[in-house]
Amino acid sequence: MPTEYASATVWGVVVALGVATFGIRASFVYLFGRIDEVPDRVTNALEFVPPAVFAALALPAIVAPEGAIAIVGNERLTAGVLASAVAWYVEDILATIVVGMAALWLLRFGI
């Protein structure tokens, strides 16, 4: 995809973001290598990181599959809500995946 930016600018941004990402990850390795005991507040806060990352990755694809928020006629949203209900009540990953995919397949292609 062509852009308005020069090749050196694009590569500069890529390198800068790579260095920043590496620095953030290295800081955690350095920090937790120097601390003998992680405080309880940090441990409790870090428990919420995986669900937050998953929600940030999955929610836009479910709520806005075409780039704009679509609630009416959005089969991904309906299947996601059904899968979320199964995950909440059953707490089984396989059942959640099966119900979510089956609901999406039925809503998209019908019987």
| SS3 sequence of the chain | CCCCCCHHHHHHHHHHHHHHHHHHHHHHHHHHHHCCCCCHHHHHHHCCHHHHHHHHHHHHHHHCCCCCCCCCCCHHHHHHHHHHHHHHHHCCHHHHHHHHHHHHHHHHHCC
pLDDT digits (tens, 9 = 90+) for 38-89: 889 988 999 999 999 999 998 998 888 887 888 888 899 999 999 999 999 9
pLDDT (tens digit, 9 = 90+) per residue, 2-52? 778 888 999 999 999 999 999 999 988 888 778 788 889 988 999 999 999
State pTM to two decimals.
Answer: 0.59
The Cα–Cα gap between 56 and 39 comes to 26
